[in-house]
């Protein structure tokens, strides 16, 4: 088994692993990097209001609520996080030379993330799984990335 870079991510967490074989030939997974994106864990209300943490009194009906709409701020935050994740993935793949790569991201951001990656980086991804495997055990990760690919070629579609 050739060494392989495995990257699993969701909007708030990215984990990079090195998948290699032990001298006995069994697969071994080693955590290389874990990155937490803090912005994903903040509440939207804390970002759009001047009165963060304040609550309206019984006489003032909407005093504690922001006066403006969220103006698609949730979508903008999601795009920003995907861009940050793509930057981390690009850096990791480029830093690992010609090592083959596997990527798993939740279905909701999978296509956005692949589209954000430059073509040379995207071409290095041998297997792209639209699954959230950030909380998967090492055994589950090994199974997901070493199982035969039913469609043949890259599963980035």
Q: Which of the two residues, 45 and 127, has the higher pLDDT score?
A: 127
What percentage of the chain has pLDDT greater than the value 70?
73
Residues 6+ apart with CB under 8 A from 40: 11, 12, 13, 77, 81
- Specify the pLDDT at position 117: 95
pLDDT beyond 80 at 31: yes
pLDDT at residue 82 above 80? Answer: yes
Looking at residue 66, what is its pLDDT?
54
pLDDT averaged over the chain? 81
Domain annotation for the chain: domains and CATH numbers = 4-146 (3.30.420.60)
- Name the most confidently modeled range: 1-5, 21-25, 53-57: 21-25
For residue 75, the model assigns a pLDDT of 83
Question: What are the b/e assignments for 124-144, b being 16+ CB within 10 Å?
Answer: bbbbbbbebbbebeeeebbeb
pLDDT (mean) for 39-48: 54
Range with the poorest average pLDDT among 1-5, 47-51, 114-118: 47-51
pLDDT of 55 strictly over 80: no
pLDDT tens digits, one per residue of 92-106: 999 988 889 999 999
């Amino acid at each position: 088994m050739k060494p392989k870079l495995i990257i699993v991510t969701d909007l708030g967490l990215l984990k990079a692993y090195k998948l290699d074989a032990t001298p006995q030939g069994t697969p071994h997974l080693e955590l290389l990097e874990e990155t937490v994106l803090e912005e994903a864990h903040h509440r939207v209300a804390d970002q759009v209001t001047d009165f963060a943490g304040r609550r309206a009194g019984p006489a003032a009906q909407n005093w504690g609520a922001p006066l403006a709409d969220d103006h698609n701020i949730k979508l903008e935050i999601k795009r920003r996080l995907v861009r940050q994740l793509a930057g981390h993935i690009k850096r990791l793949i480029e830093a690992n030379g010609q090592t083959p790569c596997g990527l798993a991201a939740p279905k909701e951001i999978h296509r956005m993330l692949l589209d954000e990656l430059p073509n040379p980086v995207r071409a290095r991804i041998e297997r792209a799984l639209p699954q959230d495997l950030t909380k998967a055990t090492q055994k589950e990760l090994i199974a997901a990335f070493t199982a035969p690919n039913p469609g043949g070629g890259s599963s980035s579609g």
